[in-house]
Amino acid sequence: MLVPAAVGAAPPRVTAGAAHAEGGRVKGWFAVAASGPGRSGRARVAISLGNGRTARVIGRRAVPSLAPATHRRIRFAFAVPASLPSGNWRIRACLPGRCLRLGELTSGTGSGSGPGGSPSPGGPASPSPASPPTSTVPTAPLHYVAGEPFEVSSGPVPYWAFVPTSYDRGNRTPTALLVWLHGCGGESSGDIWTVDPGAEGAPQDWLTIAVGGREGECWTPSVDEAKVMAALADFETHFNVDRRRVILGGYSSGGDLAYRTGFRHSSTFAGLLIENSSPFRDTESSAAESLAAATTKLHIVQLAHLGDTVYPIAGVRQEVGQVAAAGFPIELIERPGAHYDSHTDSDLRSILLPYIDVGWLAPA
């Protein structure tokens, strides 16, 4: 039986989300959770665009009453206003008194782009011819069983891979890729199952590799950065990887290596997905060195657990703040839990992995 929310029930909280502009529309999702001991009240979440001086609401989504300790994920798609002034705009999901940043868009005709980055009629009539794109069709295709992890040990670095059932068996269609790095004591052979919902029957549409070479050990970022790039290069010879949609991620020590590698090869990756780590502390690279090494401002989502004593939240907040101050679109998501407990894998799957499909792109 559905129990109605009490009169005066606390409103829900917007806890996570992501959005991007595509074809003159803002598309994305947000998650809401009950915020009190009882059922939350019904609410309407406003999707707004803000530039620091003004805000424009472009649509609203209704949120039902939620039971205690539950959450709901809600998708949306709204048109970008044709009259939106030129400039950079933050996409936000707002409830009274609090907004959560979901992404950003650039609007205006000064650079030849309309709202959402779409070509505008004010662009040049005769653009310079572009160089033909480099083919991503693999030169050494592998035999594989879709939906089942397998090891690749023929290249310079061993790794485990996962190919979803949606992958084009003719290798003609470029497909997004997650490159994953395990934590101390972890193994690529185990983590490949953890980061692949498809391995347990849930749908996914991206390829995955879990880099090996440090099974049961911690990574040494200054040394193992090369392993990450070598595994990626080898995988691209076997499968058709969309090179603008390669996302690098890692847990704990793997997050350290992902941060270091991501900053130093920022144009290679569309974004970073990190759990229970920190941008600089254990990367064998200072904040100044890492930030200076990045040639592009790639997207970053950092998931931190408030009871993590290996990476205490105060230090994580401070370092994430440094990255944000340098102009990177970074989001810090804080959740209850320890460095490793029953929340670790489930939060990774439910909070971080959905960002693979939000539309992040590396430079062309």
Crossing angle between the packed helical segments 221-236 and 253-264, to the nearest 10 degrees: 70
The CATH number assigned to the domain holding 84 equals 2.60.40.10
Most confident among 31-45, 183-197, 274-288 (mean pLDDT): 274-288
Query: Do 181 and 297 belong to one domain?
Result: yes
Rounded Cα distance, 42 and 97, in Å: 16
Query: Do 57 and 160 belong to one domain?
Result: no
Query: Do 44 and 92 belong to one domain?
Result: yes
Rounded Cα distance, 114 and 120, in Å: 5
The CATH number assigned to the domain holding 353 equals 3.40.50.1820
Query: Do 157 and 241 belong to one domain?
Result: yes
- Total number of domains in the chain: 2
Which is more confident, 115 or 215? 215
Query: Do 72 and 181 belong to one domain?
Result: no
Query: Do 113 and 192 belong to one domain?
Result: no
Query: Do 167 and 306 belong to one domain?
Result: yes
| Residue that terminates a domain, selected from 117, 139, 167 | 117
The predicted model gives 31-37 an average pLDDT of 76
pLDDT of residue 198: 53
pLDDT at 122 over 70: no
In a domain, 124, yes or no: no
In a domain, 160, yes or no: yes
In a domain, 364, yes or no: no
Query: Do 336 and 269 belong to one domain?
Result: yes
Query: Do 97 and 162 belong to one domain?
Result: no
Query: Do 316 and 231 belong to one domain?
Result: yes
Note down the domain range covering 227: 150-357
> How many CB atoms sit inside 10 A of residue 65's CB?
18
What mean pLDDT, rounded, does the chain reach? 86
Query: Do 42 and 190 belong to one domain?
Result: no
For residue 111, which amino acid is it? S
In a domain, 61, yes or no: yes
Q: pTM value?
A: 0.66
pLDDT of residue 5: 40
| Residue that terminates a domain, selected from 117, 132, 160 | 117
| Residue that terminates a domain, selected from 117, 137, 158 | 117
Question: To the nearest whole percent, how much of the chain has pLDDT over 90?
Answer: 57
In a domain, 319, yes or no: yes
**Band of residue 114 on the pLDDT scale cut at 50, 70, 90:** very low
In a domain, 363, yes or no: no
> How many CB atoms sit inside 10 A of residue 198's CB?
21
Query: Do 110 and 165 belong to one domain?
Result: no
48-104 pLDDT tens trace: 888 777 778 898 988 888 888 777 888 888 988 888 888 888 898 888 767 888 888
